[in-house]
Structures are given as structure tokens and as C-alpha cells.
Amino acid sequence: MNLSQQEWASQLEADSNAVILDVRTEDECNEGIIPNAIMIDIYKGQGFIYELEALDKSKNYYVYCKAGGRSGQACDIMGQMGFQNTYNLVGGFMQWQGETKLP
């Protein structure tokens, strides 16, 4: 599900079952991440799938990338793998106004 920056942030804050997933490259992540994000590069191909398979499907995943495209793809892939609740950050990290930190 696509959420605006504000919807994503407020829903994340209220969600006790939330996991933040950053699907950007390592170089992109080194410029800053949303605190507590798990980093799994979508460009790893099959490696990306293997890392997703290790995640708890009962959690709610808040997914982001640089602009919202790759995270949208990641949400689609996760849905096909049986993840019930995935939320794509529209506009991605480029438009993120919330807290950030270095990984």
C-alpha cells in the first residue's frame, strides 16, 4: 500500500508491530537512513529474496528507497511471498522530513 510521507510516519509511530525496511544500495544508505531500518538492497536479486525469506511475515513492513519506485517493487515482491502488510513510502528518502542517522 502506498502511503504519503505524513501517513507513513504517523502510522509507523503508532505501530507496535512495525519493521522499517530500506531497500537502497549500501552507498545510498551510507548517506543516511531512517533510524532502526533494516537494510536489504533490492538490487541483490536472488540475495534480496533470501534475506526477505528470513523475515517474520507477521510484522508490518514500512519500506522505503530513494524516491519510492524500488520500495514499491519490494512491496509487490513481498506481497507475492506472503507478507500481509507492506507500506511504501511515496517520495522515498529524498522527501523524508523525519529523523535520520548514519548506519
**Fold classification of 2-95 (topology level):** Oxidized Rhodanese; domain 1 (3.40.250)
What spatial distance separates the first Cα and last Cα of the chain, rounded to whole Å?
26
Q: Considering the entire predicted model, what is its pTM? A: 0.97
User: Please, are residues 21 and 73 in contact by the beta-carbon 8 Å criterion?
Assistant: no
User: Please, are residues 64 and 92 in contact by the beta-carbon 8 Å criterion?
Assistant: yes
pLDDT in tens, the chain (103 residues): 999 999 999 999 999 999 999 999 999 999 999 999 999 999 999 999 999 999 999 999 999 999 999 999 999 999 999 999 999 999 999 999 999 999 9
Give the type of residue at 103. Answer: P
Provide the residue ranges of all domains of the chain, joining segments of one domain with +.
2-95
Residues labelled as active-site residues:
65
